Each structure stands twice: as structure tokens, then as C-alpha cells.
Amino acid sequence: MENLLDINFLIESFPTIISRLPITIGIAVGSLIISLLIGLTTALIKIYQVPVLKTFTTCYISFIRGTPLLVQIYLVFYGIPKVIYFFQTEYGWLQHIDVNIIPPEIYALLAFSINLGAYLSETIRSAIESVDRGQFEAARAIGMSPTQMMLKIIFPQALAVAIPNLGNMFISTIKDTSLVFIIGVIDIMGQAKILGSRGLAFFEVYIAVSIVYWIVCIVVERLLVLVEKRARRYERGVIS
């Protein structure tokens, strides 16, 4: 058993791996917040059939859903510096930005936000459209503006419908952050790879990091259940 698995090394690797947990959670939470804004904007564009923007939104969603996340990370990591450099040299814009000092975490955050935003767009759109049309008519009948109608009537009900899918996507995002090591971000997966290469004990560190991911996802799942119960207070017949 000792030759198969180094228990001591496995246990000792936990603190070092967990020390990088804030990076993993930070990217996941940050991308969720930004992607919610992207998803809500694109969902409303599709719902209200905004000319030109609707076509752009459709292409964006189709491209993101039709390409691997790994490719998107590379496109953001290598593409954004080239775009910034182009504007700097051709038009003299963005001169205050030094692409050489932009941390890789920023690129990871942008890549995950763009990716998750496309998927959340469809989730949010379907959640909004699931609200009974009578709710829209009632809000208009009492003189509510479109903004008031969305904030006070539609969004609270749509949120309760969307939360399960949002939660699943957030958990998937936490696990997908294991890809950010390819652009130099040292998250818990990256730290595990470094530890494994130092001690030539990849089996042990991958067991450790899988346990960390598992525990984090369980905690997030429990929190999402509480959030869903809280959101359900808007449903008819539920008393908060």
C-alpha cells in the first residue's frame, strides 16, 4: 500500500493546494457576476428583438456554444494583447495600457465571463419568458414603466425559475477553472500540478485536489439550495 499511495504526501499537500482556493473561487464568482450582466443584456436584446444587436447576439451565442472553452481561453489570452497593441500602434489609443503587466487572472476572468454569459443568456431568456404573460399586462395596466415591471414583477419570478440552472453552471465553472493553469494562473489545480512535479507524486496530489473540488462543490450546492428557497418566497402561496 505504501508503494501505491503515499498517504503522508497526500495529507501534507492539502494546505498548499487549499492556499490557492481564493484564486479559483475568485475567478468563478467574478465571472458569474460579469456573465450575469452579459446574459441579462443579451437575453433582453433577444426578447425585445433589437435590430442589429439581435444578429450580433445570436452570432455571439452560437460561436461560444460551438467552440471549446479551452480555445476561448487561448483566444482571449493571445487576442486581447494583439488588439490593444493594434490600437496603440495604428491609432494611438490605449497608450496607458501595458499588456505586459496584465495578470493572467484578468484574461481568465474575461474568458470565463464571455463563455458563461452566452449560456446564461438562454437560461435568463427562458426564465423571463416562463413568467405568465398576464403579469406583464397587469404591470402595464397599473402604469408601471418597463424598468419597474422588470425589477419588481418579472425578475423576482424569473429568478426562482433560473436559479437551478444558474447553480449548475456556477458549479461547472468552478470545475472548469482547472483549465486556467494553461495561461499561467496558479489556482488549486495549478498548485497540484506543481506539487506533483516536485515530488513525482501526481496520483496523490490529484486525489487531494479532487477532494478539494468535491467539498467546494458540495458547499456551493448547499448554499444554492438556501438561495433557491429564499427566491421562492415570491411564488404564489409561499410566505416569506
Full pLDDT tens readout for the chain, 240 residues:
457 888 999 999 999 999 999 999 999 999 999 999 999 999 999 998 999 999 999 999 999 999 999 999 999 999 999 999 999 999 999 988 999 899 999 999 999 999 999 999 999 999 999 888 888 888 888 888 888 888 888 888 888 889 999 999 999 999 999 999 999 999 999 999 999 998 788 999 999 999 999 999 999 999 999 988 887 765 554 444
Note the pLDDT of residue 235.
58
Instruction: Please say whether the beta carbons of 239 and 226 come within 8 A.
Output: no
| Residue 33 CA: distances (Å) to CA of 17, 39, 116, 177, 204 | 25, 10, 10, 15, 34
* 39/16 Cα distance (integer angstroms): 35
Instruction: Please say whether the beta carbons of 206 and 17 come within 8 A.
Output: no
Packed helices 7-18 and 202-231: angle between N→C axes, nearest 10 degrees: 50
Give me 131's grid cell. Answer: 413568467
Note the pLDDT of residue 2.
52
Nearest to 117 by CA among 69, 152, 187, 49: 69
Note the pLDDT of residue 240.
40
* 44/162 Cα distance (integer angstroms): 15
pTM (2 decimals)?
0.90
Amino acid occupying residue 156: P
- Spell out the domains of the chain, with CATH numbers in brackets: 7-234 (1.10.3720.10)
